[in-house]
A and B are shown apart, each in its own frame.
Chain A
Amino acid sequence: MRNPMYLLYGAALLAVLGWTSYNRTPLFGGSVNEVKNIPKSVRDNPGAYRSIYGGYSRYVGGK
């Protein structure tokens, strides 16, 4: 084998591709904050829940 390093390199890349395909891992996933133990009352009172993504200042675009 004249290219053992490339053989290893390609096999590793294929393994990554296989793994990400199997798990449906997106290349650029969205930024997500995981929160545990959300009370069931959120379904009845959605306004009581405070997301860390709420209340941010926004870019007002336009040319």
Chain B
Amino acid sequence: MTPASSESTIRGSRVKGLNCPGCGAALTVRGFEHTISVVCPQCLAILSAKDPDLQILQKFADNTRITLLIPLGSRGKWKGTDYEVIGFQRRTFEVDDTEYSWSEYLLFNPYKGFRYFTEYQGHWNDVHTVRALPQPVRSAVSKAQVRHNGVAYTHFSTAQARTSYVLGEFPWQVQRGESFAVRDYVAPPLILSSESNVSEITWSAGEYVDGREIWSAFKVPGTAPRPVGVFLNQPSPYAARMGSIWGLCGLFLFLAVLVAIAGFALASNKEVFSDHYRYTAGPEKEPSFVTPVFQLDGGSSNIEVYTHADLANNWAYFSYALINEETGQAYDFGRELSYYSGYDSDGSWTEGSNSDTVTLSSIPGGRYYLRVEPEVAPGLQSMGYSIRLRRDVPGFGYFAVIFVLLLIPPAFATFQRFGFEQRRWAESDYAPVKEEADDGVTDGSDD
């Protein structure tokens, strides 16, 4: 063993200074008796920390270095415990000839042991190994599930990963190129992963954390990189408010129904005038007339004017003026009725209607009469028609519109949540199969 150059105590753990037998670079072992493997920071050789001579286990010609987001030796308080970053490894897997890598930062406390921060494209997880074996769950869903600590985790993906880079020290025999089958199960924001090779299987549990919390706790210089995309156990920002927004929506809809019922119950909906007339064509006949005076009770409210005419393949037009007998205030309006029917190669058809309803709003109370001026198609000699007026009529138009408007925001939020989950599962083993894009594409060659 290369002689220890110094020993000191840091927060209950001793730091031992060593030198690499390969290149002579100074090594620092912080995990001390827990450390099984240590990587030379200079030549990246993997050394056996249990061997008195620091036996070289692996050497590499390629000394390409990876810049760590959290430097080794960084210390911080995490969940009430002081930890120090002592190791780093990069895991790589391949999908469709493309390599993807995530990083693992090994944290150590002499009393609490080890835990990890894993990072993939700015997404961080706080991970620790679990001793209890998760149990498979029989469920109706197509994806496999396992249960751990009362939480059901759904299978997300399985990949063959290898250790592509290591630095620092490790409580196991670390080896570059070592391959594992990694199975991930998710219950956002939690994740459960198994790593297995021919000889062992290791389970670890993690929880999604905001990188800024890590930067703050470990006083990492700069800012945490922004997360890219949706990570497999990233909590949906829409899921948390889904319950409250639909709860509010239910309350609003209930209140809207109450308001509508109250409006309907309190409306007098009173018929104030009704009569039947007959129009007869004549060269000297004045078509306009006025109705008897009728009373509109109460303050300002609406009035519904219903017109029905005995029309057959014809039209009629009514010029109305609702006139306040006392004030001389008139409300002019016109209504057209047309009704046509027939039979052709498509079968029977109809067009228009021989009745019409219109509601005038904000008509003050008082004594009124209606001036009516009917007009009919040339050639129509006679037409029966009736007019009916109702006061203070309830309407459901606004209720229907507001009902729909109340549903739009929660429906939109649900749509967003669905989109988020779609993006999450698009990266899983259960993603919809994409069709080949090269159908019908030629390379342009003549042969």
Contact = CB atoms under 8 A, between A and B. Distances in A.
Interface of A: 1-3, 6-7, 9-10, 13-14, 16-18, 20-40, 42-43, 46-47, 49, 51-54, 56, 58-63
B321 A13 contact: no
A25 B401 CA distance: 13
Contact of B362 (A25, A27, A49): A25
Interface of B: 240-241, 244-245, 248-249, 251-252, 255-256, 259-260, 262-263, 267, 286, 288-290, 300-302, 305, 313, 315, 317, 319-321, 323, 325, 328-336, 338, 340, 342, 344, 349, 351-352, 358-362, 369, 371, 373, 375, 377, 392-395, 397-402, 405-406, 409-410
Contact of A52 (B262, B315, B332): B332
A21 B359 CA distance: 14
Given A2-B240, A7-B248, A63-B351, A58 B336 contact: yes
Contact of A10 (B249, B290, B331): B249
A39 to B, nearest CB: 7
A49 B369 CA distance: 14
A10 B241 CA distance: 16
18 contacts: A2-B241, A3-B248, A6-B248, A21-B260, A24-B393, A28-B359, A37-B328, A38-B321, A38-B330, A42-B290, A43-B290, A43-B325, A49-B321, A53-B332, A53-B333, A58-B317, A63-B342, A63-B351
Interface centre among B290, B340, B361, B362 (most CB of A within 10 A): B361
A61 B392 contact: no
Given A29-B358, A62-B340, 13 more contacts: A1-B244, A3-B245, A6-B410, A13-B256, A14-B256, A23-B362, A30-B358, A33-B332, A40-B328, A43-B369, A51-B371, A51-B373, A58-B336
A39 B328 contact: yes
B394 A24 contact: yes
B359 A30 contact: yes
A21 B262 contact: yes
Given A10-B249, A38-B330, A49 B256 contact: no
Contacts of A53: 319-320, 332-334
A34 B362 CA distance: 12
Nearest to A13: B402
Contacts of A6: 245, 248-249, 409-410
B52 to A, nearest CB: 60
Tell me the interface secondary structure of chain A in the complex.
loop
Nearest to A6: B409
B361 A26 contact: yes
A34 B331 contact: yes
Contact of A60 (B263, B301, B315): B315
A27 B393 CA distance: 12
A61 B340 CA distance: 7
Nearest to A1: B244
Given A51-B332, A62-B351, A63-B342, A24 B321 contact: no
Contacts of A61: 315, 338, 340, 351-352
B241 A3 contact: yes
Contacts of A31: 333
Nearest to B363: A32
A28 B304 CA distance: 12
**Most chain B beta-carbon contacts within 10 A, residue among A7, A17, A42, A63:** A17
Closest 9 CB pairs of A and B: A27-B397, A53-B334, A21-B263, A30-B358, A26-B359, A10-B252, A24-B302, A33-B332, A46-B288
A26 B395 contact: yes
B329 A36 contact: yes
Contacts of A28: 359, 397
Nearest to B408: A9
Contacts of A14: 252, 255-256, 259, 402
